[in-house]
């Protein structure tokens, strides 16, 4: 399975403390209709750390069922426990997701050898397409380019979501191996495409799916000027979506657009009023109709 293009890091909508299954299905259909190239449920943006195992599995199952094979589903199945990550990955395989996104184990702070063995064990035992997820700002540990190159030799490890914020990191990875790189930072998507990345796992795709897909299409069609035009227009809004911890701003933006509610689970909480005003203004400047 090859993953590419605009892949949305999907929010998990809540209502009265529970997963809003109706809204979740509606969001999946929205992305299918908008030209999104793939969906990642229960990742960072999907608030995976606050979901129970039952909820985590239910969200994956709903997204797979609603997508109906029309676009790939890459289920977030990462954990700081190798056995737990393997359990969730096997579940994603069982319900016929197309792959799994596995964040580096957080809190444990494993060595590079520990990271290698973590992913190698899951790849060998699950036999399912895996996307590495490198986001040290969240986990406290980073995959080195050399470790990525080692992992790229293992069957079933097919891609990496690079969210280090470093173009040097992607350059080093691609100089060492041919693994598929997917941007993990919306504001760096176009620069990373120029380095050889194949797409993005995106937060902003939750609210601008068609525009982001179009930018990536323009790039691969060779129309760099049109791709840059969208990039520069989108850039201020990309930054505004991270004025507080993701997914707080994007959920608020989705409520302002009428896509779903903005309910969060503690320890995440609603935006500060001044930041909400900044977000709404960035949305209006982009041309979005804010409720």
CB-CB contact of 78 with 85 (8 Å): yes
Catalytic residue (one of 116, 119, 161, 251): 161
Catalytic residue (one of 116, 133, 218, 251): 133
CB-CB contact of 263 with 15 (8 Å): yes
From CA 248, how far away is CA 231, in angstroms rounded?
A: 23
Question: Is residue 161 annotated as a catalytic residue, yes or no?
Answer: yes
CB-CB contact of 185 with 163 (8 Å): yes
Q: What is the 3-state secondary structure (H, E, C) of 166-233?
A: CHHHHHHHHHHCCCEEEECCHHHHHHHHHHCCCEEEECHHHCCHHHHHHHHHHHHHCCHHHHHHHHHH
Query: How is residue 73 annotated by DSSP?
Result: B
Q: Which residues are catalytic?
A: 133, 161
């Amino acid at each position: 399975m090859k993953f590419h293009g605009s892949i949305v890091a999907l929010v998990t909508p809540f209502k009265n403390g529970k997963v809003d299954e109706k809204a979740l299905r509606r969001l999946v259909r929205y992305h299918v209709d908008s030209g999104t190239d793939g969906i990642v449920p229960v990742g960072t943006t999907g608030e995976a750390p606050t979901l129970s195992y039952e909820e985590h599995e239910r969200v994956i199952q709903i997204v797979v069922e609603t997508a109906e094979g029309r676009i790939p589903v890459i289920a977030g199945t990462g954990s700081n426990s190798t056995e737990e990550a393997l359990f969730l990955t096997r579940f994603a395989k069982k319900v016929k997701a197309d792959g799994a996104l596995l964040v580096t184990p957080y809190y444990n702070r494993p060595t590079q050898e520990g990271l290698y063995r973590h992913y190698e064990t899951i790849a060998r035992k699950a036999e399912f397409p895996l996307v590495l997820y490198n986001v040290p700002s969240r986990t406290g540990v980073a995959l080195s380019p050399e470790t990525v190159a080692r992992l790229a030799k293992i069957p079933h490890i097919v891609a990496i979501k690079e969210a280090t914020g470093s173009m040097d990191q992607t350059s080093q990875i691609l100089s060492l191996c041919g693994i598929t790189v997917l941007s993990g930072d919306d504001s760096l998507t176009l620069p990373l495409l120029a380095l050889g990345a194949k797409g993005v796992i995106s937060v902003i795709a939750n609210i601008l799916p068609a525009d982001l897909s179009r930018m990536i299409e323009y790039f691969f069609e060779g129309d760099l000027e049109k791709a840059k035009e969208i990039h520069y227009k989108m850039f201020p809004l990309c930054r505004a979506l991270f004025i507080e911890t993701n997914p707080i701003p994007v959920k608020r933006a989705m409520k302002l657009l009428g896509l779903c509610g903005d309910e969060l689970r503690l320890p995440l909480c609603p935006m500060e009023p001044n930041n909400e005003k900044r977000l709404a203004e960035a949305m209006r400047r982009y041309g979005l109709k804010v409720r």
